[in-house]
Structure 1
Amino acid sequence: MTKEFKITKEQAIEARKYMKATNVKRIYRRLEVIALRGEGKKNKEVVEITGFSNKYVPQIVSMFMKEGFDKLLKDGRVGGNSRKVSKEDEEKFFEQYKEKANKGQLITAREMRVDFHTF
């Protein structure tokens, strides 16, 4: 049987604040686990609310207890999807495709992906 970690109400409040500040779904959902547990929910209830597996919820809680919010706030993904681009650069990148689209030219996702990595 796994050890039940105690998450405080203060930690739950802090998790909710981080949830409001993030726009990364993976991070949001991990923080939600901590918030729910700090609000008195048991793992079984958290599984039902979040849709996570009954093995993953305790892993998130354990990770939080060992490493705190810093670990939960890291996206952890690598590759093209985790690249951070400023709003201005994003608009500049997509401008070339808007022009092509307005001319009726087809644009493939593959073309955009290749161009993005060289951008």
Structure 2
Amino acid sequence: MSYSRPFAEGKSSVPRLSLKQIRAELTPDQKELHNRILKLRNTLVAHSDLAMMNFSAQAEPIEVNHDQPLWLVFAQHDEGLQFYKWKDQIAFIDLIQTVFSCLLTTITQIAQADPKAFDINIHFPET
């Protein structure tokens, strides 16, 4: 569910993420797996929305030089989705690493212009 959450339509005001937004170029197998995971989330696992979210993120400055800090976004969540077959688990781990790398690159670039945009802290808000 955690992987699917950013790509799924929810009941909250949090906008949906797309692979295009984070400039993720997936292989055909990765695209198929991505779509399969989203389908699992929507049909078998659960619908995920803000009421069940346990997520935090914050932009922190890393001193690279004395003129301008490099702002990195640190995020945490504590949910996961397991697959029955080992091969599927390995493919899913690879997909997560690919998407996360693209996401990290994109949000790091955005954080340079507006670090406060990533001061986010949502922990099971009341509905």
* TM-score under structure 2 length normalisation: 0.25
Larger radius of gyration: 1
Higher relative contact order (CA 8 A, sep 6+): 2
Structure with bigger strand share is 2
* TM-score under structure 1 length normalisation: 0.26
Structure with bigger helix share is 1
